[in-house]
């Protein structure tokens, strides 16, 4: 389980967004809701690289879907 210093989190910002929105700590990832990227935290160090980011959908459970017909 990754740990993050709240003071560190407070100064981190999304490198992909021009207006540098704050990131939300979500378990092993830092999430930018503006561009919907999730940045991995490795060895308690946030990897704020666009090329390392994964789509937010990839780390979240898919939304509940309609029951399949038939
Ligand atoms: Zn972003």
CA of 44 to the centre of ligand 1 (A): 20
CA of 35 to the centre of ligand 1 (A): 4
pLDDT tens digits, residue range 8-65? Answer: 899 999 999 999 999 999 999 999 999 999 999 999 899 999 999 999 999 987 777 8
How far apart CA 14 and CA 26 sit, in angstroms, is 14
The pLDDT, as a whole number, for residue 59 is 92
CA of 70 to the centre of ligand 1 (A): 40
1: pLDDT strictly greater than 70: no
Domains present along the chain, CATH in parentheses? 6-59 (2.20.25.10)
CA of 65 to the centre of ligand 1 (A): 27
The pLDDT, as a whole number, for residue 6 is 87
The pLDDT, as a whole number, for residue 29 is 95
- Record the pTM: 0.81
Q: Which residues, 6 or more positions from 34, have their beta carbon under 8 angstroms from its beta carbon?
A: 14, 17, 19, 21
């Amino acid at each position: 389980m990754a740990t993050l210093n709240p003071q560190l989190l407070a100064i981190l910002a999304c490198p992909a967004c021009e207006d540098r929105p704050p990131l939300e700590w979500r378990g092993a990832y830092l999430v930018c809701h503006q561009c919907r990227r999730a940045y991995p935290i490795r060895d308690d160090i946030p990897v704020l690289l666009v090329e390392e980011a994964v789509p937010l959908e990839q780390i979240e459970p898919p939304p509940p879907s309609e029951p399949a017909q038939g």
